[in-house]
Homo-oligomer: A and B are copies of this chain.
Amino acid sequence: MSLVVVGSVAFDTIETPFGKVERVLGGAGTYIGLAASSFDIEPKLISVVGNDFLEKDLEMLKNKQINTIGIQQKADEKSFFWKGRYSNNMNHRESLATELNVLGEFDPIVPKSYQGAEYLMLGNLSPVVQRKVIERMEKRPKLIVMDTMNFWMDIMIDELHQTISLVDVLTINDEEARQLSGEYSLLTAAQKILAMGPKYLIIKKGEHGALLFDKENIFSAPALLLEKVVDPTGAGDTFAGGFIGYLAQCQDISFESMKTAVIVASAVASCGVEHFGVEGMKKVTIDKIKNRVKQFVAIVKFDSKLKI
């Protein structure tokens, strides 16, 4: 049940219709690690930060049972910084600044104590860095989950294809699935993407839920309905963290178990977007997640012996 997570640990300045936060802790690695740490595992984080990184943030991660020895600190560089603004209906976001800083030359180191992990989560990063982590694991993990985004499709599609071919589960959103496959129908898109190598594909649809595919099966999970979405930053990451965190805890990677993992992942992600930055994930408890899963079951259940 050992889980290694690679992803950015960064600072974000975020503006949404509900307010603004400046230079708060963020990054895919942070969100994934916090989400996964809700389960009975100690995520081992691989990342890089700069000389501006705060001791209190590191302490918070450690207090959440996240192993941080794989986080390199560069004395003469700054941490990755992202600034973004969400539109009024939260459906669109504009990147106002993206300063790669330490991420520009990120050479991921897998500490000795991380070796032998059975689960590996590749957070959204350059596919070259993601592949290096796979290569530097002495034993191939039982399950490799990879998150990515349209940015890498735009600038390094060949490298992306190479990394995708090495993983077990790919998670992307619906627009990205369409871009990667060149198909509008998500059904056809999924079949094309599965032919690129991964055994499973998860298409994240935000407020519309998520789809899980393998070559034979489909599972469609609607999202929970929330009264207020304050800040959607990191929702894809916390989904991924909840997904692999649950699987690493239950140690069952069948399609049936992955269905549950998708529901659990949605529940975890729903807890994150109700607060700014990582505040939601800092507060989340396994009881809150269980409660959300119960709500999910309540809104989707119906008598499957339909009389027509």
Is A246 at the interface (CB under 8 A from chain B)? yes
Q: Which A residues are closer than 8 A to B by beta carbons?
A: 89-90, 178, 184-188, 205, 208-209, 211, 218-223, 225-229, 246, 250, 256, 259-260, 263-264, 286, 289-290, 293, 297-304, 306-308
Identify 10 residue pairs between A and B in the complex whose beta-carbon atoms are under 8 Å apart, listed by A's number.
A188-B227, A218-B298, A219-B302, A220-B300, A259-B303, A263-B306, A264-B308, A286-B308, A290-B308, A293-B306
- Interface contacts beyond A187-B227, A208-B208, A256-B303: sample of 6 additional A-B pairs, CB < 8 Å, sorted by A: A90-B184, A187-B225, A188-B227, A218-B225, A220-B300, A221-B300
A270 CB to nearest B CB, Å: 12
A89, A297, A302: residue with the most chain B Cβ atoms closer than 10 Å: A302
Measured CB to CB, the nearest residue on chain B to A307 is B250
Measured CB to CB, the nearest residue on chain B to A90 is B184
Decide if the interface of chain A is mainly helix, strand, loop or mixed: mixed
Measured CB to CB, the nearest residue on chain B to A302 is B259
* Contact call A297/B304, Cβ cutoff below 8 A: yes
Complex CA gap A302/B210 in Å reads 14
A178, A211, A221, A299: residue with the most chain B Cβ atoms closer than 10 Å: A299
A176 CB to nearest B CB, Å: 14
Measured CB to CB, the nearest residue on chain B to A224 is B220
**Pick from B184, B208, B256, B302: contact of A89, CB under 8 Å:** B184
* Contact call B227/A209, Cβ cutoff below 8 A: no
* Contact call B226/A187, Cβ cutoff below 8 A: yes
A254 CB to nearest B CB, Å: 11
* Contact call A300/B297, Cβ cutoff below 8 A: no
A220 — which chain B residues lie within 8 A by C-beta?
222-223, 225, 299-300
A250 — which chain B residues lie within 8 A by C-beta?
307
A264 — which chain B residues lie within 8 A by C-beta?
306, 308
